């Protein structure tokens, strides 16, 4: 296992469309996943997509509120070859950050509710209907697989700010 270097905005790999993973259970997928999990833990992020560690493959990992817990626990999800379908037209705005855009925060519109599907690390297909923060994280991470950063989803660039100035927006 090793901690991987994160690509930052401007690196061409972040603008590329990533390739499908042929075998979610292959050794190479497992090693990549192990390294991504270790990297995300080290950097204390909410989510990570393979292109952010310079691998152009359709794989993301992210934390979301644990459905089985009534505390504020977060559980780690692994999502391979994801597909997202918006449910309804409701759009929410909330602040996002990204390990590839360090130090900044932006107010980003996202679908409130989505269905997403894909494979887990055992190669099992699954689908889920989620909303709120869970839906936002999935949309953010999966955008990376199509070469899109959250900044490109923003409709008002005056809402792109440094984390250290968040206090002026009544949000810490
Ligand atoms: Ni990101």
* pLDDT tens, position by position, 71-81: 778 899 999 99
Contact between 150 and 96 (Cβ < 8 Å): yes
- Whether residue 170 has pLDDT greater than 70: no
With respect to residue 92, please indicate whether it lies within any of the assigned structural domains.
yes
Cα(120) to centroid(ligand 1), Å: 20
Identify each DSSP E strand in the chain by its residue range.
Answer: 47-49, 59-65, 74-86, 91-96, 104-111, 113-119, 125-131, 160-162
Distance 37 CA to ligand 1 centre (A): 15
Residues carrying an active site annotation: 141
41 Cα: distance to centroid of ligand 1 (angstroms): 15
pLDDT tens-digit map of 89-114: 999 999 999 999 999 999 999 999 99
- Domain annotation covers residue 2: no
Q: Could you tell me if residue 7 is inside a domain?
A: no
85 in any annotated domain: yes
Determine, yes or no, domain membership for 6. Answer: no
pLDDT at 133 over 70: yes
CATH of the domain at 47: 3.90.45.10
Q: Per the domain annotation, does 5 fall within a domain?
A: no
CA of residue 47 to ligand 1 center, whole Å:
7
Q: How remote is the CA of residue 99 from the centroid of ligand 1, in Å?
A: 6
Q: Is 46:144 a contact under the CB 8 Å cutoff?
A: no
Residue 4 lies in a domain: no
Give the chain's length. 172
**Overall number of domains in the chain:** 1
* 67 compared with 121, residue with greater pLDDT: 121
Q: State which residues form the domain around 95.
A: 12-169
CA distance 147 to 100: 12
Q: Confirm whether 80 is domain-assigned.
A: yes
């Amino acid at each position: 296992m090793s901690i991987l270097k994160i690509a930052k905005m401007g690196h061409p790999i972040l603008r590329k469309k990533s390739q499908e993973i042929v075998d979610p259970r292959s050794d190479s997928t497992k090693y990549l996943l192990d390294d991504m999990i270790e990297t995300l833990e080290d950097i204390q992020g909410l989510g990570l997509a393979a292109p952010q560690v310079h691998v152009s493959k359709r794989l993301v990992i992210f934390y979301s509120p644990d459905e089985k817990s009534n505390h504020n626990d977060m559980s780690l999800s692994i999502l391979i070859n994801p597909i997202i379908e918006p449910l309804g037209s409701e759009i929410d705005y909330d602040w996002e950050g990204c390990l590839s855009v360090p130090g900044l925060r932006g107010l980003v519109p996202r679908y409130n509710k989505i269905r997403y599907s894909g494979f887990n690390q055992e190669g099992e297909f699954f689908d889920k209907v989620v909303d709120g923060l869970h839906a936002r994280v999935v949309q953010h991470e999966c955008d990376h697989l199509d070469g899109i950063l959250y900044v490109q989803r923003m409709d008002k660039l005056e809402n792109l700010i440094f984390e250290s100035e968040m206090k002026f927006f009544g949000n810490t």
